[in-house]
Amino acid sequence: MKKVIFKGDILFTPTKDKFETYRNSYLVSEEGKIVGVFERLDEKYRDYPIVDYSDKLIIPGFVDIHLHAPQYMNMGLGMDKELIPWLNTYTFPEESRFKDLDYAKEVFLKLVQDLIRHGTTSAVVYSSIHKDTTKLLMDLFIESKLRAYVGKVNMDRNANTELKEDTEKSLRDTEEIILEYRDKSPLVKPIITPRFVPSCTEELMKGLGELALKYDVPVQSHLNENRGEIQWVEELHPQFPNYSSVYDHFSLFGQTKTIMAHCIYNKDEEIDLMAERGVYAAHCADSNFNLSSGIMPVRKYLDKGVNVGLGSDISGGHSLSIPRAIVGTIQASKMKWLETNRELKPISCSEAFYMATKGGGSFFGKVGSFEEGYETDLLVVDDSNINDIERLTLEERIERFLYVGDYRNIVERYVAGERIEALSRLNIQTVI
């Protein structure tokens, strides 16, 4: 739809500090961009078609800034292990299977269908090391009309035989994907993806940093997730003062747009550098609990001005639900509050919702809010089966949906003003 008005109970977070709410109001969109939210319509909009979602919540689409597509079938497995044993026992063997394009397509179709189901309209995604598999995943996201960054994983050391890449081939494959996909779709873009420092030689990290700068391509990786991992980085790179400085040395830390996942044990100087460089932190509460990694001090990052978004981090996390990530973020912050003798104030519902929408969405640009000029990415939520919609405020209704609702309450999804169909109804043309 070029011009359209959505009518309903509208709720979003222009800032993290509070919800902005409009009961029985109108969201005006032109060419897939938000014009504004109005309690009454101006005469100039009289010829615009109105899509009536009265009594339903209209909220921004959810944004997941950290997930591993090849780990989809492993969700809920190995949750009694810590990070490195879990990688070696479950993750690396599963990711090795993705050299088989038939298997990859089977899994990725289910993944994208599940993302749509859960209301994730934008995602930052790890593929496997395999070039053609990564292209398949990007084509599938293009067909789905979701918004995504997708990265071919790079790793040329400390991996099993099937996942350990030749350094030059890894760089060539990465560059090929960048050149083929950087202008192929306005919604789906490549992202440079060194798995983490222990799996990448200095030669590989140097080459990836050069590609990031040459083509102005964003970067994603992991940072300070697990104490054993941090000790490993110190042993591999004793010449650097901390984990972040390794990435920074190779132009992988904010020299282009960057996401670092987990960030549980960052030193103050690392957080300060993230704030200075505009590096995003992907908070993955479920995964941090499941793999006994720790609790990220999210409040410290927010207070220092670091951009924080939320990640499902499947399959360290065991669900693609961003509402679940919102609740987990709030709960984890309460435990951190107790752990720090009430120094770091718990995260509020509006703050967690902001991180799941505009906070993470800003990595894509004007995504995750209903302010003028933002992308018309939205969800329609029918909460009538879980809420007394006449008695509760809109803030109370959204909180209850986040805690006790699920994907079945999401009745419509839009990206850039276009309605997203369930994947089973799409005509996927991806060629294997």
Q: SS3 for 248-281, per residue? A: HHCCCCCCCCEEEEECCCCCHHHHHHHHHHCCEE
Element (H, E) at 106: helix 101-117
Q: Supply angle C-alpha 173, 177, 182, rounded to 5.
A: 155
| pLDDT tens track for 211-244 | 999 999 999 999 999 999 999 999 999 999 999 9
- Cα 423 to Cα 10, 120, 364, 427: the distances in Å are 26, 13, 23, 8
Euclidean distance between CA atoms 205 and 304, whole angstroms? 28
Euclidean distance between CA atoms 29 and 187, whole angstroms? 18
DSSP string, 115-171: HHHTTEEEEEEE--S-HHHHHHHHHHHHHHT-EEEEE-EE--SSS-TTT---HHHHH
Ranges of the chain whose pLDDT falls below 70: 1, 422-432
The answer to whether 58 and 9 are in contact (CB under 8 A) is yes
The total number of residues written for the chain in this structure: 432
The answer to whether 97 and 424 are in contact (CB under 8 A) is no
4-33: b (≥16 Cβ within 10 Å) or e = bbbbbbbbbbeebeebbbbeebbbbbbebe
**DSSP assigned state of 389:** T
Structure tokens at 262: 């987990």
**pTM summary value:** 0.96
Which pLDDT belongs to residue 422? 66
Element (H, E) at 330: helix 322-339
Task: Give the orientation angle of helix 394-404 with respect to helix 322-339, to 10 degrees.
Answer: 90
Q: Is the dihedral of CA 57, 60, 66, 67 positive or negative?
A: positive
- Residues in contact with 310: Cβ distance below 8 Å, sequence separation at least 6, in sequence order: 63, 64, 65, 282, 283, 284, 285, 322, 325, 326, 329, 352, 355, 356, 359, 360
- Residues in contact with 87: Cβ distance below 8 Å, sequence separation at least 6, in sequence order: none
